[in-house]
Amino acid sequence: PIPITKPKPKNLSIPHIIGGYRQPDHSWRYYFLTLFQRHNEALNVWTHLLAAFIILVKCQELSETVDFLRDPHAQPLFIVLLSAFTYLLFSALAHLLNAKSELSHYTFYFLDYVGVAIYQYGSALAHFYYAIEEGWHARVRGIFLPTAAFLAWFSCFGCCYGKYASPRLPKFAHKLFQVVPSGLAYCLDISPVLHRIFSCHQQEGGCSNQAVAYHCYQVLFFLVSAYFFACPHPECWLPGRCDFIGQGHQIFHVFLVLCTLVQIEATRTDYIERRPLYGNLAHDTVALFVFTACCSALTAFYVRKRVQAQMLEKVE
């Protein structure tokens, strides 16, 4: 059996969660085996791990009819699938392995933030090439993707720095570093979708487009998930009673997974139905995607080095 510690480990505790912590300073095998044990991170791991598996299945299904390698129009679809799988896998690893030590705690959550930045840009890319209306596309085509890439990186930087500086910051300031940059990135990334929804519902006879319906659910699920990310409910009202199930972060995971899955369905539908609108033009999507991922990874690595140096100073 995997030993679970009742009290909160120093520097590794979760607000309002009293029990169910795994003991630090064990082997990597110990933490991988906790995948099959009951602890306060178990549901956080499995929600995103199962969702990552679903993304792989969807990718396999789509590859039977979509030529991801030779069809330029399919590149954004592949990138959003890849970015969704990446953020889900990195999140699962962060919740599974962060308890090993204080440095591991920072390292794997920084990796999680890199995954989020990658997914933010992947979402912006899919919305820009499939969901956007022609008029809006022509208006923002020169600035949308570069700005999305910058805000995705800025989101990663804000989350990493907020985590690094959290011991010296008030609790609300830590959340601001995470929520504000991510919120700015989301506002830009979702703007083509919101414009599409508004335009569709302005049509005579109402809106009956299936992809738009998926996009509406995507926005709704994201807003619910954002609430539970920003607010530790219900565990702040019931300390100790949500240690294993019912945490706000677990609810956040569930709704974010639902958001991602309906987003992919919307993207798949738009990819098929809106091809005549945007044709088969080759899009330079890969370079900026790789650049954004590399900048985010380097930022996380740099802040990790700062954390490591700070820990060495404490020891000395």
The distance from CA 296 to its chain's CA centroid, rounded to whole angstroms, is 13
Enumerate residues 6+ apart whose C-beta is below 8 A from 208. none
Enumerate residues 6+ apart whose C-beta is below 8 A from 307. 103, 106, 164
| Residue 253, annotated as binding a ligand | yes
| Residue 249, annotated as binding a ligand | yes
For the stretch 89-122, what's the b/e string if a residue is b when 16 or more beta carbons lie within 10 angstroms of its beta carbon?
A: bbbbbbbbbbbbbbebbbbbbbbbbbbbbbbbbb
| Residue 95, annotated as binding a ligand | yes
The alpha-carbon radius of gyration of the chain (Å, integer) is 20
Alpha helices in the chain, H assignment, sequence order: 28-33, 42-63, 75-97, 102-126, 134-140, 144-165, 171-201, 210-230, 248-273, 275-278, 286-315
Binding site members for Zn(2+): 95, 249, 253
Binding site members: 95, 249, 253
